[in-house]
Amino acid sequence: MQTTINLNETSLSRLITHHIGNKSQEGQLILREEETQVAEDETENYLSSYFLDTLKTEEVFELTHTIDLQHNPVYTLAKELLNDRSRFIEISKKLGQLLFESSTHPRIKEGKLSIAIFEQVHYDDEVCTAIGIFKSETSVPFLQIHEMESNYAFSHDFGFELKGLDKACLIIDRNQENGFSLLIRDHASKQLEAQYWTEDFLGVRPMSNDYNLTKQYLSLTKDFVVNTASEDFMMSPPEKIDILNKTMDYFKGNETFDKDDFSKSVFPDEKMQDAFMSFDNENDEIHHHHTTDSFPISQRAVKSQSNVYKSVLKLDKNFSVYIHGDKSMIERGMEPNGRKYYKLFYENES
């Protein structure tokens, strides 16, 4: 079932900010004893926008642990805070200490950690409370202009861009028994040091909803075709592109994913179908907690993955050939002198 989350009416009710340095670089951990002051209502609106606007509401995660969920410290602290708001400052300091202990990679930047409580989070048909955990690492200079009696004056200061939040986590008070429902932002997600936020500190995995399952199977299939099948079945680049095209056509043309039907529709023979089934069954990310042989396909996830499913055959730095269909219309060969070539067949030219 596709989850619907709406943050348009969400309001900020509590906020405290701590300073988190890099532990391995002898950075400081400064934990505050009082809540953060917000100057006025308009500032609060900007602040809520800064915290929430970059979160993708269709991509939902949940807290987890390799042994037992109760061993995840963020999970236990979130439960304690939602059950007893009077412990807000105390628990925020424990979260700050926990993040500091995870900040050991030499490239992790120091920053300001804001812990917040939000009300009016619309999750499907329910209105929920949420805990926000945000880290701001990158400050930028900005200019201020001051109106004087007879002229203007410029000065500068440093602050955070409204669209530039580095790391965010919104823990929504839903699905508590399975690790809550989380929205995540990690601006440095492609860098190794970024794993400390999602894995070392939070400990999350994608929730088993339509969006994540669709996205995961598209990613898994591409991984199988490009890496495993490419070597085991000696596939040519056009053959790989043909299977990737069939994969995208299947997800675009069907409302429901069925693993057996998908395998037979996309892969050309039983050996490759069996190899894909084995590859899929060994994938812990999808099968660690959920049974996923069939699920409704999320077209939003298909659209989000279409960019990584580009059907492009790149030949040195001279040519890029876009292949959208019948692989029999392209032929690969080699001349006696060793020079490689592709031959393209077509019926109409435009």
Residue 47 near residue 12 (C-beta atoms within 8 A): yes
Do 224 and 126 share a structural domain? no
Whether the per-residue pLDDT at 326 is higher than 70: the answer is: no
Do 242 and 197 share a structural domain? no
**Which one of 167, 189, 207 terminates a domain?**
207
Whether the per-residue pLDDT at 36 is higher than 90: the answer is: yes
Whether the per-residue pLDDT at 62 is higher than 90: the answer is: yes
Do 155 and 240 share a structural domain? no
The values of phi and psi at residue 255, to 5°, are: -85, -25
Give 195-234 pLDDT, tens digit per residue.
889 999 999 998 888 888 998 899 899 889 888 887 788 8
Nearest to 330 by CA among 338, 109, 322, 220: 322
- Amino acid in the structure at residue 22: N
Residue 75 near residue 180 (C-beta atoms within 8 A): yes
Rounded Cα gap, residues 344 and 46, in angstroms = 56
- Can you tell me the mean pLDDT for 128-148? 93
Do 177 and 225 share a structural domain? no
Give 109-120 pLDDT, tens digit per residue.
999 999 999 999
Do 332 and 284 share a structural domain? yes
Rounded Cα gap, residues 241 and 225, in angstroms = 9
Do 77 and 178 share a structural domain? yes
Q: Where are the alpha helices (DSSP H) in the chain?
A: 41-52, 73-83, 88-102, 195, 210-223, 230-232, 237-253, 259-266, 270-281, 284-287, 299-305
The four Cα atoms 208, 283, 324, 313 give a dihedral, to 10 degrees, of: 130
Residue 267, in any domain of the structure: yes
Question: Which of 200-204, 236-240, 277-281 reaches the highest mean pLDDT?
Answer: 200-204
**Which one of 151, 173, 207 terminates a domain?**
207
**Which one of 207, 231, 261 terminates a domain?**
207
Do 198 and 311 share a structural domain? no
Do 293 and 260 share a structural domain? yes
How many domains is the chain built from? 2
The four Cα atoms 74, 76, 78, 82 give a dihedral, to 10 degrees, of: 180
Do 238 and 193 share a structural domain? no
What is the residue range of 282's domain?
211-344
